[in-house]
Amino acid sequence: MTMISPAVQLKRLVTLVRTEVLVLPSRVIVAMFVLALLGLPLVSQNPYLIRVIILTSVFAILAASWDLLSGFTGQMNFGHALFFGMGAYTSALLNIHFAIPPWGSVPMGALAAVLTGLIVGIPCLRLRGTYLALTTMAFPIILMGIVFALPDLTGGELGISGLQRLSNSLVGNYYIYVVTMLVLSAVMWKITDSHTGIIFHAIREDELAVRASGINTTRYKLMAFCLSGFFAGISGGMYAHYMRIAGPSTLEVSMSFSVVIWAVFGGLATIYGPIAAVFVLFPFLEFVRFWPEYRTMIFAVVVLLILLYMPEGIVHWARDKMEKECPRCKIRNVATRKSCRVCTALLD
């Protein structure tokens, strides 16, 4: 192969950006969001701001991992904190008791969460609706019981503290968390955009019909549990290493519920919806921390308003304001266009 000169490569990149990114407002926003995240430390290194964005990134991974399981396959998991706590506690134990550094303990925490996904997934295969919701809710409570029953190992109420951070520099940590979030989000989105993603979608729509198409739905449902556990486990481990503590709060019911609320707020079965939701809601909640007595109430009101007026989530609502779909080829166009940019059909 001949080498392509840098000038030609740059030209190609510019063309790509012009034809693929600049044509749609939503893509421009995503590109600007990524650039802003990556460029932030160049503008400000305010420790409080950096901390908020690091935690937001952790919870964005968590919310997207819930969507991968529940939004896509429709197996509503109301105990997602189980995977988060499992990742947090496993990496904390490995880091403190076995002196395994974070780059080893976080993936092992994720593997523990995958195993947990299998253990939880199997009894959940036959369950639906309320029964599934209650069963999934029970698992983190069981794990919390184990945590309190073994205080020598888990630190009981106090948790395991003194964990090593991934990086000791503020900016180093920031980039590790933000880049991990961006990469894992892209991976999750790619999974859902693949053939496997179509099967996940179809299982949510009608499981029996998927079986009648010759697909082993048991395998795919368990796969969804394990994949979701993996990503949630990573976010749990990274959370523990950032906070330098893994405590029972990671397993709380409120944690599980927050995840569900974020995902519904952003829009189910999208991956990017829950991520956007966390980036809106988490900093917002940090902001209203100045009025602690109203915090929960403001949160509840905002969520209620969203559910009433944007039932498909904030992302689809915003996208439909800016773009419209071509009735013929289903390609999205800027709302101001009169005809489709690909097939030139008239947009109404």
Partner 1 sequence: MTVPFLEVEGLTKSFGGLRAVNDVKFRMEQKEVLGLIGPNGAGKTTLLRLLTGILKPDSGSVRFKGKELVGHKLWDIVNMGVACTFQNMRPFRRLPIIANVMVSCLSPRSMGRGEWVKVVEAKAMDALEFAGISDMALEKASTLSQGDLKRLEVARAVATDPELLLLDEPFGGLSPAETELMAKSIRRLHKGGRFGRLHSEGPAMIIVEHKLQQLMKIVDRIVVLNFGTLLAEGTPEEVVNNPRVIEAYLGQQGGQ
* Chain positions contacting partner 1, by CB under 8 A: 195, 198-199, 201-202, 205-206, 208-217, 329-330
Residue 232, both tokens? 């949630």
Residue 164, both tokens? 């090593």
Containing H/E element for 269?
none
CB of 347 to partner 1, least distance (A): 15
CB of 230 to partner 1, least distance (A): 22
Q: Are 49 and 256 in contact (CB under 8 A)?
A: no
Phi, psi of 325 (to 5 degrees): -90, 140
The span from the CA of 229 to the CA of 300, in Å, is 27
Instruction: Give the residue with the Cβ less far from partner 1, 219 or 321.
Output: 219
Instruction: Give the residue with the Cβ less far from partner 1, 72 or 89.
Output: 72
CB of 148 to partner 1, least distance (A): 41
Containing H/E element for 90?
helix 81-97
The span from the CA of 261 to the CA of 307, in Å, is 10
Q: Are 248 and 165 in contact (CB under 8 A)?
A: no
Instruction: Give the residue with the Cβ less far from partner 1, 15 or 194.
Output: 194
CB of 213 to partner 1, least distance (A): 4
Strands (E), the chain: 160-161, 245-246, 323-325, 332-334
Residue with tokens 């701001």: 49
Pairing of strands 332-334, 323-325: antiparallel
Instruction: Give the residue with the Cβ less far from partner 1, 61 or 264.
Output: 264
The span from the CA of 225 to the CA of 161, in Å, is 29
Q: Does residue 332 sit in helix, strand or coil? A: strand
Instruction: Give the residue with the Cβ less far from partner 1, 214 or 292.
Output: 214
Instruction: Give the residue with the Cβ less far from partner 1, 4 or 209.
Output: 209
Instruction: Give the residue with the Cβ less far from partner 1, 73 or 95.
Output: 73
CB of 317 to partner 1, least distance (A): 17
Instruction: Give the residue with the Cβ less far from partner 1, 74 or 266.
Output: 74
CB of 345 to partner 1, least distance (A): 12
Q: How many helices (H) and strands (E) does the chain have?
A: 16, 4
Residue 14, both tokens? 């510019």
Instruction: Give the residue with the Cβ less far from partner 1, 163 or 340.
Output: 340
CB of 225 to partner 1, least distance (A): 19
Phi, psi of 281 (to 5 degrees): -75, -40
How many angstroms separate the Cα of 127 from the Cα of each of 75, 153, 223? 9, 33, 16
Q: What is the DSSP letter of 335?
A: T
In 3D, which of 5, 260, 42 has the Cα closest to residue 171?
A: 42
CB of 265 to partner 1, least distance (A): 20
Q: Does residue 348 sit in helix, strand or coil? A: coil
CB of 204 to partner 1, least distance (A): 8
